[in-house]
């Protein structure tokens, strides 16, 4: 059994989709970030970075004690290895899957994540950072479109690279973007959205994550996400 410390955000959905795709037994443990569930010492023992998602595999590859895994890209790699699925065997394709996975983890997710932050959570009037991170997201969508013009999926066949990028493509509408200028991304996005495992994996979706509405946070909730409560959380 795999415990998934889960929140219905793009990074969380990568893991819920992957587990539905490969059919490994798992349970989603819903974490309330506003309440600070990710700040506790117990959770830090699982994820030293204190972010979501993380997993604990109670029957890990290689045996032994339950294995915690953090960072959504590392979790996808671990689950691909464990299941023997969704990572190409061919060395060239395998490298391509790793390249696009790293691209998502280093660029497409973090840049867009900052756009979400400045549009939805920061005090209003953040024109410069909003333009900066939205423009960077648009640039990255052009990069993605270029790849998908030459390949049906990022590594040729459907793989963990697509699973990593799909939920972040879905999230662009919350920062006021569409796929109208990215026809190859739109084709790929629609095809993946038809997959039953993807639909099951995002059933848990929280509509609020797809809206650009500004959530109204209490002082305590804001502090749990961005302020002194977050800073005071123990490291292990
Ligand atoms: N690189 C990390 C990013 C994780 C991340 O930032 N997760 C967000 C939710 S999608 C989070 O935990 N936010 C809580 C916080 O920032 O305190 C990964 O891919 O796992």
pLDDT for position 233: 82
Residues of the chain whose pLDDT is less than 70?
204-211, 236
CA–centroid distance, residue 71 to ligand 1 (Å): 8
CB 233 within 8 A of CB 227: no
Say whether 48 sits in a helix, a strand or coil.
coil
Q: Is 52 in the pocket of ligand 1 (CB under 6 A)?
A: yes
pLDDT for position 143: 98
pLDDT for position 158: 98
Cα–Cα distance for residue pair 160/155, rounded to 1 Å: 9
Q: Is 51 in the pocket of ligand 1 (CB under 6 A)?
A: yes
Number of residues that this document lists for the chain: 236
Domains belonging to the chain, first-starting first, are: 2-85+206-232 (3.40.30.10), 91-201 (1.20.1050.10)
Cα–Cα distance for residue pair 15/83, rounded to 1 Å: 13
pLDDT for position 216: 86
pLDDT for position 210: 60
pLDDT for position 208: 47
Cα–Cα distance for residue pair 100/179, rounded to 1 Å: 19
């Amino acid at each position: 059994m795999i415990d998934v410390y889960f929140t219905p955000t793009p990074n969380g959905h990568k893991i819920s989709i992957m587990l539905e795709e490969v059919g490994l037994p798992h349970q989603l443990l819903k974490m309330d970030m506003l309440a600070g569930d990710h700040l506790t010492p117990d959770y830090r023992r699982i994820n030293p970075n204190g972010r979501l998602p993380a997993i604990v595999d109670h029957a890990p590859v290689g045996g032994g004690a339950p294995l915690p895994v953090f960072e959504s890209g590392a979790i996808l790699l671990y689950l691909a290895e464990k299941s023997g699925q969704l990572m190409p065997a061919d060395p060239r394709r395998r490298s391509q899957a790793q390249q696009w996975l790293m691209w998502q983890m280093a660029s497409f997710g973090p840049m867009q994540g900052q756009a979400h932050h400045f549009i939805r959570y920061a005090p209003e009037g953040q024109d410069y950072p909003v333009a900066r991170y939205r423009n960077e997201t648009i640039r990255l969508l052009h990069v993605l479109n270029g790849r998908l013009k030459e390949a049906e999926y990022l590594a040729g066949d459907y793989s963990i690279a697509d699973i990593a990028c799909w939920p972040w493509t879905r999230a662009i509408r919350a920062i006021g973007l569409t796929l109208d200028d990215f026809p190859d991304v739109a084709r790929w996005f629609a095809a993946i959205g038809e997959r039953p495992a993807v639909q099951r994996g995002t059933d848990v979706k929280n509509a609020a994550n797809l809206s650009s509405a500004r959530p109204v946070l209490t002082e305590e909730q804001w502090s749990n996400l961005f302020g002194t409560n977050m800073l005071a959380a123990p490291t292990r």
